[in-house]
């Protein structure tokens, strides 16, 4: 079975607590696999768009079939989380899965102090990722090196926290809502907030409520997936909603799927100039792929970026 013949689209799975992101992807693959598809190559292709810790629940976009070619749109997207962390202790993993390193019995902290500190963590900042993370260090996963007893120096990297809202504080547990850019570790944020307060910051609950602006209502549970899996698939064109659309006639569509550059006369097409770096290419109601636009004085050049195999099949 070709890639184009498999289900295509995105499932916004509400990942269960305790599951790795890989386990969630494998479960979706099994849901859409047929009994006769005995080996891995015959089964649907799937991948996720942004890892969630096993402790975490919430939105995990899982892309199926040809949609996997556009996973970067989820990986690079802003994320929103709700997180609770305990200020009375800290662990080596920065969550409940680790060994306790230190306890803090003196917690004379007011809500006013917390609100003042939270404001300091909004904006661009240098963040040190957790030692127990999937980041590669010398070609190996940091968490694997840490579990083998190796000392690891994690390198700080730039992240941006767009917004923090205080949801609840019942000492010693603090609950906040966070909007942030890709690569931001919420466990590290909890650790750093706790350090600033002079206490711990061990994550006890973490839930991703949104990825790329997709609302929480888009999520489907495992039960919903297993009951009516096809209804849970969001079409690929919907996943590409932020990209401008350019519609081609049949001749230009045939050239596009062959990877040829196309000249677009000025004024012959309408698109959002803010999104000219990448756009989705349509023939009729069929998505052919994506392209970038190189603007010129009297015309623009359409440069194919990703062409879908299903689109190529249409013009054979």
Q: Which residues contact 123 (CB under 8 A, 6 or more apart)?
A: 160, 161
Residues 45, 6 contacting (CB under 8 angstroms): yes
Q: Are 48 and 211 in contact (CB under 8 A)?
A: no
Question: Alpha-carbon distance 106 to 229, whole Å?
Answer: 51
Cβ atoms of 53 and 74 within 8 Å: the answer is: no
The residues pairing with 178 across neighbouring beta strands, listed in sequence order, are 81, 164
**Which residues have CB under 8 Å from 271's CB, separation 6+?**
244, 245, 246, 279, 293
Catalytic annotation on 251? no
The tokens describing 298, both together, are 């009297």
Of 53, 86, 95, 192, which one is the catalytic site residue?
A: 53
- Is residue 111 within 8 Å of 28, Cβ to Cβ? no
Which residues are annotated as catalytic? 53
């Amino acid at each position: 079975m070709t890639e184009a013949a498999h289900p295509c689209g995105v499932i916004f799975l509400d990942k269960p607590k305790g599951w790795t992101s890989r386990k969630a992807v494998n479960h979706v693959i099994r849901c859409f696999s047929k009994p006769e598809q005995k080996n891995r190559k015959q089964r649907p292709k799937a991948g996720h768009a942004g890892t969630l810790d096993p402790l975490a629940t919430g939105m995990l976009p899982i892309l199926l079939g040809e949609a996997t070619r556009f996973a970067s749109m989820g990986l690079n997207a802003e994320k929103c989380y709700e997180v609770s962390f305990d200020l009375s202790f800290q662990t080596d993993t920065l969550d409940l899965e680790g060994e306790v390193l230190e306890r803090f019995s003196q917690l004379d902290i007011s809500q006013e102090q917390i609100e003042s500190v939270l404001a300091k963590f909004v904006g661009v900042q240098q963040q040190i990722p957790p030692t127990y993370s999937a980041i590669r260090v010398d070609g190996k996963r940091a968490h694997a090196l840490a579990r083998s007893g190796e000392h690891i120096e994690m390198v700080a990297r730039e992240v941006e926290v767009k917004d923090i809202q205080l949801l609840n504080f019942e000492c010693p547990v603090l609950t906040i809502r966070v909007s942030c850019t890709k690569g931001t570790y919420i466990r590290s944020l909890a650790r750093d907030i706790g350090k600033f307060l002079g206490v711990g910051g061990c994550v006890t609950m973490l839930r991703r409520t949104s990825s790329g602006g997709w609302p929480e209502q888009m999520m489907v549970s495992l039960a919903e997936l297993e009951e009516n899996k096809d209804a849970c698939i969001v079409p690929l064109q919907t996943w590409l909603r932020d990209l401008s659309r350019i519609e081609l006639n049949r001749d230009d569509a045939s050239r596009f799927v062959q990877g040829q550059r196309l000249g677009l006369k000025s004024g012959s097409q309408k698109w959002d100039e803010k999104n000219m770096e990448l756009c989705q290419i349509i023939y009729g109601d069929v998505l052919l792929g994506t392209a970038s636009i190189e603007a010129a004085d009297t015309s623009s050049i359409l440069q194919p970026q990703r062409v879908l195999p299903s689109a190529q099949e249409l013009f054979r």
